[in-house]
Amino acid sequence: MARGSAKKTASGNAFLLALLRNGFLATNTIYLVVRFWFFRSSVTKGTFFAYGLSEAIAVALWLSLQSMAAQGNDLQQSGLTQYMFDIIYITWFVQIASLLWSKLWYLYLIIPGYGAYVIYQKILLPYLFRGQSPFASLQGLLQGGSGGGAPAGAQEPQAAESMSKRQQKLQARAAKGDPRVQMRKR
């Protein structure tokens, strides 16, 4: 049973590595021929730098994926492996799209932007800010105006939302003077 699973993983890895190899060949051939042969007058130092940097990152990730496959790891797993594939695919897209308009190299900034979002959502928000967004408190200050916070009427619905339905019912009964509800005195 274990050998069958290892064979399935190995064949899946071989397919993915062949897909990456063919993708690298296709995108690099298209980019190099079109940009550096047909439109060589539009090539700048920035074009060389952007292409070289993006290709170096993609090739480094490809080599890392190849070594992972050689060790027997499953390349179809989620997590960091999937992010590596996503970066390679974004690199290919940006390279081909930049043939149409050179400003599309800025699409490569999606990668660090998404990384910052993941760090904020998975690390900063739950551990550093304890699940409460610091932007929500800033928004509350901005909406409250210069009077030092939100009006008193705006705070009551927030307090009601934080109570359970049972607590809300008990509070409503107590407000009506129901004798079944006893309020503690502190």
With respect to residue 65, please indicate whether it lies within any of the assigned structural domains.
yes
Q: Tokens at residue 148, please?
A: 């030092």
**Residue-range definition of the domain harbouring residue 54:** 2-105
List, for residues 2-40, the tens digit of each pLDDT value: 667 888 888 889 999 999 999 999 999 999 999 888 887
- Residue 141 belongs to a domain: no
pTM score = 0.65
**Structural domain contains residue 62:** yes
- Total tally of structural domains belonging to the chain: 1
Q: For 97-132, what is each residue's pLDDT tens digit?
A: 999 888 888 998 999 999 999 898 888 888 887 777
**Would 175 be classed as within a structural domain?**
no
Residue 113 lies in a domain: no
Residue 85 forms part of a structural domain: yes
Domain annotation covers residue 127 = no
CA gap 106, 104 in Å, rounded: 5
Spatial separation of the C-alpha atoms in residues 58 and 74, rounded to whole Å = 19
Cβ(40)–Cβ(31) below 8 Å: no
